[in-house]
C-alpha cells in the first residue's frame, strides 16, 4: 500500500511538471558558443540527418496508425512553430514519429522502473504528451502574437491605400514592417513568383489553418473587385480587433473553470492522501 501511494504521488508530481511546462516553458538566451553548436548541428539543404534519419524505420507504422485529423493538426502546429523560428524542415509525419518514439521509450523505462504494465502505460502517455509540449508551446505563442498584430497590420494596409496606391502595392509596402504579419506576407510574396499575390495569400492562409487569415484572404479578394477599398479594409481591421478582444476575454473567463481540475489533482488529492496516510498508517500498522 505504501509503495502504491508513493507511486501515485510521483505520477501526480510528473503531471504537475508536464502541465506547467505546457504553458510556462522558459526560454533562455544562448551564448555564442551554444549558437555556433546549434548552427553546426542543423542539416544542410533538404538532406535528412541526425534524429530524423534515426526515426525513418518508425515512419511507416506511424503513418498507418495516424489519423488524417491528427496529421492536419500537427501540420498547423509545425506551420506556426516554423514561424516562431524552430522546427525547420520537419514534416507532420516526422514529428508524429518523434512523439511515438518518445512514448515507446517512456513505456519501456516505466516498465523497467515500476514493473507494472499500467504504470508503464501511464508513463508512455506522458511521453506522448510531453514530446509535443515544445512545439505546441512555441506555436501557441506565435499564433497569439500574430493574431494580436494582425488588426494593426490590416489598418496599415488601409492607410497605404488611402495614399492612393493599389491594394497589391499597399500589401507589398506593408510587408516591409517588423511585425509577424509583415514577415508572413514577405514569405508569401517570395512564394508568389508567377502567381497572383491574393491567390498565394489564400493558399498560405489555408495552410496556416488560422480562421482570421482565411477570412482575410477571402475578403481581400472581394475588396479588390469592389469599390471603397480603403473604407472596407478599415472596417475589416476594426472587426478583427473586436474579435481578438472577444477571444481574449473568453479565454480569461475560462481560466477559472479550467483551473478547478488541476487544483483538485495537484493540491486537494495529495493533501487528502497525506492526511489519510498520517492518520490511517499507524492504525493499520497496529492492527497488523
Domain ranges of the chain: 144-250
What's the rounded Cα separation, in Å, for the pair 205 and 182? 14
User: What does the pLDDT read at residue 24?
Assistant: 41
pLDDT band at 47 (very low <50, low <70, confident <90, very high): low
Handedness of CA 196, 197, 200, 201 (dihedral sign): negative
User: What does the pLDDT read at residue 49?
Assistant: 66
Q: Do 138 and 84 contact (CB within 8 A), yes or no? A: yes
Q: Is the pLDDT reported for residue 30 higher than 70? A: no
Q: Is the pLDDT reported for residue 95 higher than 50? A: yes
User: What does the pLDDT read at residue 2?
Assistant: 52
Instruction: Give the three cell numbers for residue 85.
Output: 523560428
Residues above pLDDT 70, as percent of the chain: 73
Name the one residue in this structure whose C-alpha cell is 526560454.
Answer: 27
In this prediction, residues 192-219 reach a mean pLDDT of: 86
Residues above pLDDT 90, as percent of the chain: 24
What is the per-residue pLDDT across 117-135, written as a single tens digit (0 to 9) for each?
Answer: 888 898 899 999 999 999 9
User: What does the pLDDT read at residue 29?
Assistant: 45
Query: What is the rounded average pLDDT for all residues in the chain?
Result: 77
Q: Is the pLDDT reported for residue 235 higher than 70? A: yes
pLDDT band at 8 (very low <50, low <70, confident <90, very high): low
Query: Cα torsion for 169, 170, 176, 178, to the nearest 10°?
Result: -160
37-41, 121-125, 192-196, 261-265 — most confident range: 121-125
Amino acid at each position: 500500500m505504501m509503495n502504491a501511494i508513493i507511486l501515485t504521488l510521483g505520477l501526480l508530481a510528473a503531471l504537475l511538471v508536464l502541465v506547467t511546462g505546457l504553458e510556462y516553458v522558459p526560454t533562455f538566451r544562448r551564448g555564442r558558443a551554444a549558437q555556433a553548436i546549434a548552427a553546426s548541428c542543423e542539416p544542410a539543404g533538404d538532406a535528412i540527418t541526425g534524429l530524423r534519419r534515426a526515426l525513418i524505420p518508425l515512419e511507416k507504422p506511424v503513418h498507418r496508425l495516424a489519423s488524417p485529423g491528427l496529421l492536419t493538426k500537427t501540420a498547423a502546429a509545425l506551420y506556426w512553430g516554423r514561424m516562431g523560428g524552430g522546427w525547420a524542415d520537419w514534416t507532420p509525419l516526422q514529428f508524429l514519429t518523434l512523439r511515438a518514439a518518445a512514448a515507446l521509450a517512456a513505456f519501456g523505462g516505466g516498465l523497467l522502473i515500476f514493473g507494472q504494465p499500467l504504470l508503464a502505460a501511464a508513463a508512455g502517455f506522458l511521453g506522448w504528451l510531453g514530446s509535443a509540449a515544445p512545439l505546441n508551446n512555441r506555436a501557441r505563442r506565435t499564433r497569439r502574437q500574430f493574431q494580436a498584430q494582425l488588426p494593426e497590420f490590416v489598418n496599415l494596409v488601409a492607410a497605404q491605400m488611402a495614399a492612393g496606391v493599389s491594394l497589391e502595392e499597399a500589401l507589398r509596402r506593408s510587408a516591409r514592417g517588423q511585425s509577424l504579419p509583415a514577415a508572413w506576407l514577405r514569405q508569401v510574396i517570395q512564394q508568389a513568383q508567377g502567381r497572383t499575390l491574393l491567390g498565394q495569400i489564400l493558399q498560405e492562409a489555408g495552410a496556416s489553418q488560422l480562421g482570421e487569415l482565411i477570412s482575410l484572404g477571402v475578403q481581400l479578394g472581394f475588396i479588390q473587385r469592389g469599390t471603397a477599398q480603403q473604407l472596407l479594409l478599415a472596417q475589416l481591421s476594426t472587426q478583427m480587433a473586436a474579435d481578438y478582444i472577444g477571444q481574449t476575454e473568453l479565454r480569461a473567463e475560462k481560466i477559472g473553470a479550467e483551473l478547478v481540475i488541476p487544483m483538485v489533482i495537484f493540491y486537494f488529492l495529495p493533501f487528502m492522501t497525506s492526511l489519510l496516510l498520517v492518520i490511517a498508517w499507524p492504525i493499520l500498522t497496529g492492527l497488523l
